[in-house]
Amino acid sequence: MNSKVNTENGVSPKRKKLQKIGVFTSGGDAPGMNAAIRAVTRAALSHGLQVVGIRHGYQGMIEGQFISLHSSDVSGIINQGGTILKTARSKDFLTSEGREKAYLNLKKHDVDALVVIGGDGSFTGALVFSQEYDIPMVGIPGTIDNDMFGTDYTIGYDTALNTVVEAVDKIKDTASSHGRIFFIEVMGREAGLLALNSGIAVGAEVILIPESKEQHEELKKFLAKGYKTKETSGIVIVAEGDEMGGAIKIAQTVTEEHPDLDVRVSILGHIQRGGSPTAKDRVAATRMGVAAVDALLDDQKSIMIGLKNEKTVHVPFSKAVKLHHSIDEDLIEIQRVINI
Ligand code: ATP
């Protein structure tokens, strides 16, 4: 893999086969998606390719929302959250009629290959589509959950993590001033990595995640310890997919069992998806964007670009969507050791 513009007269030797690529964002948005769009666009242009942006993900592909992207169109977006191409969830793309319309639009606009920036749902769609139609597709993982198999990192995770830490630090001040226990819900329906790492970073007393039940015991211990020491302030981070329910439900149960405790709930919600991406997200997005174009030029298809040990790697969509990035048990152990 090599991102050098290996050209004679400024034209990449592999360009003849591939002339125009499409790029789009799909599923949940994540900070750093714009940096990825910029990198894909600039890398493709530097190889002499034309670039088309498809607005509103697969739905826009079906509806023909195609726009030409030039270098200036992606100027000044590396620091912007969200996605300039907009994103969407498309029910129509789940149907073969919808996918046929999408394919016909790609042909109409002479798009030879696609880069999809999104999560596992978007890659499942890409896999289905590329099995039906001869359109090479390469994915860039953009999701704040960091739960994709085959990559150490997904775009948006670091920004979301820092957003959570900043918000919880503020809540912690008021929690300790009033002697309150705050149950703070962070995003993660199936993945607790954001909760686990943010909990460690803020010094949370307990972290409840879908991957581990042991933490429920930790919550009981924490509440019991609070009674003994009369130290009743604290932070409990709850991943929204925790087995006991979200933060509201858990706080209700705790209040019923311990009516004398001053329990509060804070659901961080969509602030976790927004904001200017961190340097780490911008750099990861840029590396993956360049690698995605390289992969297409190397005739790769149906793969996701990942980052493993600081190197870009290719992961087949079939693996990326079936398997899950498991939680690092060491982190759970670290939390247990620290919380004496
Ligand atoms: P996030 O992780 O933030 O949820 P995602 O990429 O997983 O992002 P999804 O909503 O799961 O988001 O998927 C995005 C889109 O991909 C769906 O709206 C749908 O259009 C398409 N898609 C998902 N699964 C399939 C499938 N089996 N067949 C065709 N298209 C699919």
Q: Residue 329 falls within a domain, yes or no?
A: no
Residues 98 and 116 in one domain: yes
Q: Ligand 1 within 6 A of 153 CB?
A: no
Ligand 1 centroid, distance to 73 Cα (angstroms): 27
For the segment 77-86, the average pLDDT, to the nearest whole number, is: 98
For the segment 16-22, the average pLDDT, to the nearest whole number, is: 89
Reduced to 3 states (helix: H, G, I; strand: E, B; else coil), residue 71 is: helix
pLDDT of residue 228: 56
Task: Give the whole-number percent of the chain exceeding pLDDT 70.
Answer: 93
pLDDT of residue 137: 98
Higher-confidence position of 151 and 260: 151
Residues 94 and 44 in one domain: yes
Residues 137 and 286 in one domain: yes
Q: Whose CA is nearest to atom 17 of ligand 1?
A: 89
Ligand 1 centroid, distance to 120 Cα (angstroms): 7
pLDDT higher than 60, residue 4: no
Which pairing describes strands 113-118 and 50-54: parallel, antiparallel, or unpaired? Answer: unpaired
Q: In total, how many domains does the chain have?
A: 2
pLDDT of residue 299: 96
Residues 96 and 152 in one domain: yes
What is the C-alpha end-to-end distance of the chain, expressed in Å? 48
Whether the CA torsion 149, 155, 159, 164 is positive or negative: it is: negative
pLDDT higher than 60, residue 330: yes
pLDDT band at 243 (very low <50, low <70, confident <90, very high): confident
**Residue 127 belongs to domain spanning:** 20-156+277-322
- Position of tokens 């069992």? 257
Q: What is the pLDDT of residues 39-71, one digit of tens each?
A: 999 999 999 999 999 999 999 999 999 999 999
pLDDT of residue 15: 47
Residue 313 · residue 287 · CB < 8 Å: no
> Is 29 known to be catalytic?
no
* Residue of 29, 120, 145, 158 with catalytic role: 145
Count the residues in the chain. 340
Residue 34 · residue 80 · CB < 8 Å: yes
- Position of tokens 């994915």? 139
Report the alpha-carbon distance of residue 180 to residue 167 in Å, rounded: 16
Residues 241 and 281 in one domain: no
For the segment 130-150, the average pLDDT, to the nearest whole number, is: 95
Give the range among 14-18, 90-94, 104-108, 312-316 with minimum mean pLDDT.
Answer: 14-18
Reduced to 3 states (helix: H, G, I; strand: E, B; else coil), residue 246 is: coil
CATH number reported for the structural domain that contains residue 216 in this entry = 3.40.50.460
Residues 125 and 225 in one domain: no
Residue 2 backbone phi and psi in degrees, to 5: -160, 125
pLDDT of residue 231: 65
Residue type, position 8, single letter: E
Give the range among 4-13, 223-232, 297-306, 311-320 with minimum mean pLDDT.
Answer: 4-13
Helix, strand, coil % over all residues of the chain, rounded to 5? 45, 20, 35
Q: Ligand 1 within 6 A of 118 CB?
A: yes
Residues 128 and 46 in one domain: yes
CATH number reported for the structural domain that contains residue 134 in this entry = 3.40.50.450
pLDDT of residue 229: 62
Report the alpha-carbon distance of residue 20 to residue 251 in Å, rounded: 53
Q: Ligand 1 within 6 A of 93 CB?
A: yes
Report the alpha-carbon distance of residue 39 to residue 291 in Å, rounded: 9
Q: Ligand 1 within 6 A of 119 CB?
A: yes
Residues 169 and 148 in one domain: no
Ligand 1 centroid, distance to 309 Cα (angstroms): 27
Contacts for 134-138: CB closer than 8 Å, 24+ residues apart: 135/103, 135/106, 135/111, 136/112, 136/296, 136/299, 136/300, 136/301, 136/302, 137/113, 137/301, 137/302, 137/317, 138/113, 138/114, 138/292, 138/295, 138/296, 138/300, 138/301, 138/303, 138/304, 138/305
Distances (CA, A) of 309 to 174, 312, 330: 39, 8, 18
Mean pLDDT of the chain: 92
Instruction: Give the residue among 219, 213, 155 at the shortest CA–CA distance from 181.
Output: 219
Residues 266 and 317 in one domain: no
